[in-house]
């Protein structure tokens, strides 16, 4: 009996260590988009450059990402739209089974503010943890013949990212000022 308990304990410790190791090294935006179906619905940690617009923020892949996601001849941007849980929303893509770590998010925002981040000139790189969501049927969410409404992805019109991250926390903030690039 004690051998069974010992073996179960070892398996539990191994699973915890594997999860910690998986979370220790964040995925790149490129890697998660390449393997988007494998990560769909999972809690992930992803690091990338953050961009902002009037309707929110998104992570973009760095310039070394050679992968291009194309469905029915329409190219998708190498971006992940950022949103917060909306568990009352009819669309389950916005649901999350976790509580947002608002303390971590406020610390990240305070760090950005302390650096005197210039939205127009500087580069913001952050690590996000959250629920990754994509549409498995992206090929049904494009219309190659409509110039201004070719993709129906995540985020506001014009962004139409192939995926979104329902944010749980933000950490590891780095601001690269334009003068140092």
Per the structure, the count of domains in the chain is 1
Q: What is the pLDDT of residues 56-74, one digit of tens each?
A: 899 999 999 999 999 888 8
First-to-last CA distance in the chain?
61
Has residue 110 got a pLDDT over 70? yes
Here the tokens at position 31 are 């890697």
For the ranges 36-40, 43-47, 95-99, the lowest mean pLDDT is seen at: 95-99
Instruction: Please give the Cα distance from 24 to 165 (Å, whole number).
Output: 18
Give the span between the Cα atoms of 47 and 26, in whole angstroms. 6
Domain carrying residue 61: 26-180
Q: How far is CA 97 from each of CA 81, 100, 156, 168, rounded to the nearest angstrom?
A: 19, 10, 24, 10
What is the model's pTM? 0.81
Predicted confidence band of residue 6 (pLDDT cuts 50, 70, 90): very low
Residue 5 forms part of a structural domain: no
**Residue 88 included in any domain:** yes
The CA-CA-CA angle for residues 131, 132, 138, to 5°, reads 145
Q: Is residue 78 part of a domain?
A: yes
Question: Does residue 30 belong to any structural domain of this protein?
Answer: yes
Least confident piece of the model among 33-37, 65-69, 74-78: 74-78
């Amino acid at each position: 009996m004690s051998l069974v308990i010992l073996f179960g304990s070892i398996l539990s410790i191994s699973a915890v260590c594997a999860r910690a190791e998986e979370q220790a090294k964040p995925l790149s935006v490129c890697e998660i988009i390449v393997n988007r179906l494998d990560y769909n619905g999972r809690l992930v940690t992803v690091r990338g450059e953050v961009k902002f617009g009037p309707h929110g923020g998104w992570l973009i892949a760095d310039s070394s990402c050679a992968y291009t996601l194309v469905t029915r001849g329409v190219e998708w941007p190498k971006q992940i739209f950022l949103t917060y849980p909306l568990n009352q929303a009819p669309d389950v893509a916005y649901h999350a089974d976790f509580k947002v770590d608002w303390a971590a998010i406020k610390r990240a925002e305070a760090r950005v503010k302390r650096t005197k981040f210039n939205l127009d000139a500087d580069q913001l790189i952050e690590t996000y943890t959250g629920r990754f969501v994509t549409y498995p049927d992206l090929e049904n969410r494009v219309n190659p013949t409509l110039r201004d409404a070719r993709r129906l992805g995540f985020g506001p019109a014009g962004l139409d990212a192939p995926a979104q991250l329902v944010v749980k926390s933000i950490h590891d903030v780095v601001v690269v000022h334009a003068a140092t690039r």
